[in-house]
Structure 1
């Protein structure tokens, strides 16, 4: 039993769980509130006209910028995990990340135009990279590996994420769209500040869970390694900034560069793991089996992550934002998915328990997830036909179908990643799983440029059909993939 995992196991201060879970629950709730609150109104702020208080940017560029921001967030998690493992420890990484996120939202809340947007997004990307991958590590460290409360604790923690995601568009969206965009961003900053206060006040209850780096750099190497990391980072940022200033690389060029990186990074990870002498033949086969699952996940997230881009734009111009005589801002639409998660997740958990060993294999679940997310886009295709606005119930149905796909892929993907990971690359393979979202969002940053109200039918139809075709192919390949998984279900 390790010191980092046993420290709080006897505590029963939060629904029978360690007291530290309440601290992390509310910290993550407020961090997700800030993240989803800002994301709910970002696209609108970017492309709405100056008369509407927005920046008046080209809509396709605005949607692309929001998508590449999402890709950058997930790529930064790889670096954030490394810093926590080797230098900071999980607890400090969470706090420093929260501080950066708060300042990022403050930059967006200031009426300084595009400068505030770019400054804010960079700070939020860096902060989320530190906080997001490490707060889950701290949660896990509250329990011993054999503690029967462990899965229940993560379930409670996951509910905090969805509660924050539900409240965020309602508060930030209302303030931003009804009064002033900067008030909405300011509310996101206040949310993160509340999360930091909760974290500091309750940090004692975390004990030594992920308090120190599990694989710290030797003291004599720390300065040299960190110096190189900082030098390379500053160098890359400097080169990109110089190219932008000189006019060689425009804003779209930077987006294209990050999109390319979001694809090349996981390709490099796979190449290293497959060719490494530390990967056994059985593990190499499992890594190869993981490749089609990764591609399926990237395709799923490409469509799913358009909630804050294309689907938000569709809700803005093509959806009736009123029901039973009550009007609401388009940003409220983004609260539907968290509600669906909270309502449907227990049903899926019960289904898997009932099916037990008869439940579908992992590749088949991934295939079904693609079929469902493809179907959700085909529903939008049908809703897009004709002129005028359609009932928001179309989006309710779309999100119900999409959320069922999410529950078939997201939690299952986390589980199978830990099973297929080579022992020498266990932590890095978990980082690779999050790069599937980065790759999907990165490619999405290019794809969303093709959306407009005029071609909505073709846009949703093509993407939905591609996802369904890939889903059918994955289901048909289940036996071959399962053989490569070498005994992993």
Structure 2
């Protein structure tokens, strides 16, 4: 157990993890708010000068790997370093990545992205696990409340990051914005080391250490993979290997789908599940598809909607040119404001025996996302008329997207934990995060369709893109409602 000192009535170690996560999210969302804008910004404006399709693919690949590398990151913590050292190493690698982005070279930019996804894969899944280790098995109420406090740290970091990093990046120098993100992560790492004594014994033990020979073999394989990765990076640097980001992104889109499909097939056939477990795993497969579709729309925030704000939104307020990246601070504001309201609504409806079922809430998430892009269609017609859209269109869009995530994300996450056979919970959570990875990747590819030159010739391209997303979301919502009854049967006692 951790220290007896308290943080709002919780173990003092919660403060250590709260501020570490806050600064990690500051670094992530601060950099993400600038990333796509920087990639497609002209070289004479300090950007990389990529076309929109390549920029969207690079952005999508980056956000995809952030989620995918959480899987090996969790394995490394469980089998090699333990949670605590993994968090520290991850934070150091993330900071190094941001400072690589702060250098004005294309080569260091891609190395920086590589470092950040590797570091995030080590830190992000393991710091959440550390929160759980601060509480005993009999302390479930405080444990749940502790995660709520921890969640606030995420939103505080996500709120202030675009304001600081976005202003520096867009109004001063792109690389200053990336450097600010790196400084935030350094503060998080320093804070973690200075206060880790408050964590007590939490996160020190390597859960699946094995014997010394096993550890050495694992370290050897990890070293071989890192060396192979380093060789690949050097070959890219020397242009011996040239990677087409659009082709790579489209390949990964299909690869993730095929791998997940094969995994579910393997699980259903070879994992010796009983009839009830098979039904629930089939339900998880459906939730995977719904989640992936939802996030193709939701994760347009950092790419499609960000570039719309930059190019087609009137950003002058009271004579001040507002950075486009500042809109990225809206979701955490909305989350903090409306999560308690939605939670109270579900509790109230449950007391009246009218709480919507899981399939209905999932479909609501899709409907809200569709409505968000209906708002973007309205904004696009303003652009077609020859004017710039007012910021209120994006305010409304982000609000509706947040409503969608509140309906879908916690329900989907909770559903996975409840539906998974006990021995497969970890792997099924990994599958859930692969849905997020796939959604992020496709969202980046969508952003590539807002080509500035094409839009200049035919602004209706904006309407076509947003209309496609609306149709996809609404059609998916209708399908979910149509299969709600059989889906509930598959879920059994999980409602």
TM-score, normalization by structure 2: 0.93
Q: Does 1:482 align with 2:482?
A: no
SS in structure 1 opposite 2:202? coil
Query: What are the Cα deviations for residues 356-415 of structure 1, in whole angstroms up to 9, with x where unaligned?
Result: 253111111111101111111111011101222111011111111110110011111221
Q: Does 1:277 align with 2:271?
A: yes
In 1, the alpha carbon distance for the partners of 2:15 and 2:242 equals 50
Partner of 2:374: 378
Q: Report if aligned partners of 1:278, 1:424 keep a CA contact under 8 Å in 2.
A: no
TM-score, normalization by structure 1: 0.94
Deviates more, 1:256-265 or 1:125-134: 256-265
Deviates more, 1:275-284 or 1:161-170: 275-284
SS in structure 2 opposite 1:358? coil
Partner of 1:140: 132
Residue 288 of structure 2 is aligned with which of 260, 285, 294? 294
Deviates more, 1:271-280 or 1:121-130: 271-280
Q: Report if aligned partners of 2:80, 2:206 keep a CA contact under 8 Å in 1.
A: yes
Q: Using the TM superposition, give the Cα deviation of residue 72 of structure 1 relative to its aligned residue in structure 2, in angstroms.
A: 0.7
SS in structure 2 opposite 1:54? coil
Q: Does 1:355 align with 2:354?
A: no
Partner of 1:335: 329
* Structural RMSD (CA): 2.0
Partner of 2:442: 443
Q: Report if aligned partners of 2:53, 2:445 keep a CA contact under 8 Å in 1.
A: no
Residue 113 of structure 2 is aligned with which of 113, 121, 127? 121
Q: Using the TM superposition, give the Cα deviation of residue 76 of structure 1 relative to its aligned residue in structure 2, in angstroms.
A: 0.3
SS in structure 2 opposite 1:111? coil
Query: What are the Cα deviations for residues 211-260 of structure 1, in whole angstroms up to 9, with x where unaligned?
Result: 21222233222222343354356557756976894457434333334333
In 2, the alpha carbon distance for the partners of 1:378 and 1:242 equals 45
Q: Using the TM superposition, give the Cα deviation of residue 152 of structure 1 relative to its aligned residue in structure 2, in angstroms.
A: 1.1
In 2, the alpha carbon distance for the partners of 1:297 and 1:482 equals 17
Q: Report if aligned partners of 2:300, 2:444 keep a CA contact under 8 Å in 1.
A: no
Q: Using the TM superposition, give the Cα deviation of residue 168 of structure 1 relative to its aligned residue in structure 2, in angstroms.
A: 0.5
Partner of 2:339: 345
Structure 2 residue runs without a partner (length 5+): none
Deviates more, 1:310-319 or 1:235-244: 235-244
Query: What are the Cα deviations for residues 163-206 of structure 1, in whole angstroms up to 9, with x where unaligned?
Result: 10010100000011111111100000000000001111111111
Q: Using the TM superposition, give the Cα deviation of residue 281 of structure 1 relative to its aligned residue in structure 2, in angstroms.
A: 2.6
Q: Using the TM superposition, give the Cα deviation of residue 290 of structure 1 relative to its aligned residue in structure 2, in angstroms.
A: 1.2
Q: Structure 1 residues 247 and 78, CA, compared in 2 at 3 Å: closer, same or farther?
A: closer
In 1, the alpha carbon distance for the partners of 2:308 and 2:342 equals 29
Partner of 1:419: 418
Structure 1 residue runs without a partner (length 5+): 1-6
Q: Does 1:159 align with 2:158?
A: no
Partner of 1:102: 95
Q: Report if aligned partners of 1:105, 1:185 keep a CA contact under 8 Å in 2.
A: yes
Deviates more, 1:251-260 or 1:36-45: 251-260
Q: Does 1:256 align with 2:250?
A: yes
In 2, the alpha carbon distance for the partners of 1:425 and 1:48 equals 45
Deviates more, 1:435-444 or 1:158-167: 435-444
SS in structure 1 opposite 2:7? coil
In 1, the alpha carbon distance for the partners of 2:92 and 2:195 equals 16
In 2, the alpha carbon distance for the partners of 1:406 and 1:420 equals 20
Q: Structure 1 residues 78 and 327, CA, compared in 2 at 3 Å: closer, same or farther?
A: same
Partner of 1:3: none
In 2, the alpha carbon distance for the partners of 1:239 and 1:272 equals 32
Q: Report if aligned partners of 1:321, 1:330 keep a CA contact under 8 Å in 2.
A: yes
SS in structure 1 opposite 2:448? helix
Q: Report if aligned partners of 1:68, 1:259 keep a CA contact under 8 Å in 2.
A: no
SS in structure 2 opposite 1:320? coil
Q: Report if aligned partners of 1:29, 1:161 keep a CA contact under 8 Å in 2.
A: yes
Q: Using the TM superposition, give the Cα deviation of residue 145 of structure 1 relative to its aligned residue in structure 2, in angstroms.
A: 3.1
Q: Report if aligned partners of 1:169, 1:335 keep a CA contact under 8 Å in 2.
A: yes
Q: Report if aligned partners of 1:259, 1:439 keep a CA contact under 8 Å in 2.
A: yes
Q: Report if aligned partners of 2:303, 2:443 keep a CA contact under 8 Å in 1.
A: no
Q: Using the TM superposition, give the Cα deviation of residue 311 of structure 1 relative to its aligned residue in structure 2, in angstroms.
A: 0.6
In 2, the alpha carbon distance for the partners of 1:213 and 1:206 equals 15
Q: Does 1:410 align with 2:409?
A: yes
